Amino acid sequence: MMDTPPNPYMRARQEGQAVWFLGSLMQLKATGSDTAQGFSLIEQVLPPGFAPPLHVHHAEDEAFYILEGEFTFVCGDLRWRAQAGAFIFLPKNMAHGFVVEGHTPARLLQFTVPAGLEQFHVEMGEPASSLTLPPPSAPDMAQMHTLAAKYHFDIVGPPLKAE
């Protein structure tokens, strides 16, 4: 059976499934079902201090393009300070994480190859009722560990702290 090629489409700035994830706003611009599992693309708005736990993906590579704000990224022993216009590539099987620096929300694009990880964000998050940042809340770490196993990544350390 041959794979069905994806259909062309466009999503405007405020289009795409919107999810509140760990205090951030994510809009899914491209999902596995859109790209024949080739890649996913998520636009994220992140509050100051946002940082996922340090983690290792075993199934996909991630890349980030910074649109607004300032970040610190780590990958293995490497550490980068990144601002608007920076591109960061994080290969699978390497521990990585980031933190939003400063006092204002930041915005980035997250590319994941191949697709699939976007569904972790959907399952761990909740449908956004508006295209704004949600009220802060503590993550359900038990659920995060369960979903991490389902989506083939390991949580290996605490979130980074802002400098």
**Residues 93-137 pLDDT 10s:** 999 999 999 999 999 999 999 999 999 999 999 999 999 999 988
**pLDDT over threshold 90, residue 86:** yes
Q: What's the pLDDT at 1?
A: 45
**Residues 20-67 pLDDT 10s:** 999 999 999 999 999 999 999 999 999 999 999 999 999 999 999 999
Query: Is residue 27 one of the residues assigned to a domain?
Result: yes
Of residues 62 and 5, more confidence is placed in 62
How many domains are contained in the chain?
1
Using CB atoms within 10 Å of the CB of residue 161, give its burial: 0 to 12 exposed, 13 to 18 middle, 19+ buried: exposed
Query: Is residue 6 one of the residues assigned to a domain?
Result: no
Query: Is residue 83 one of the residues assigned to a domain?
Result: yes
Query: Is residue 68 one of the residues assigned to a domain?
Result: yes
Query: Is residue 29 one of the residues assigned to a domain?
Result: yes
Q: What's the pLDDT at 163?
A: 84
Check: pTM over 0.85? Answer yes or no: yes
**For residues 117 and 148, what is the distance between their CA atoms, to the nearest angstrom?**
10
Query: Is residue 9 one of the residues assigned to a domain?
Result: no
Mean pLDDT of the 131-153 span: 94
**For residues 84 and 15, what is the distance between their CA atoms, to the nearest angstrom?**
22
Q: What's the pLDDT at 3?
A: 66
Give residues with Cβ within 8 angstroms of 157, minimum separation 6: 53, 54, 55, 95, 97
Domain around 120: 17-130+140-159
Query: Confidence band (pLDDT; 50, 70, 90) for 160?
Result: very high
What CATH number does the domain containing 144 carry? 2.60.120.10
Of residues 82 and 136, more confidence is placed in 82
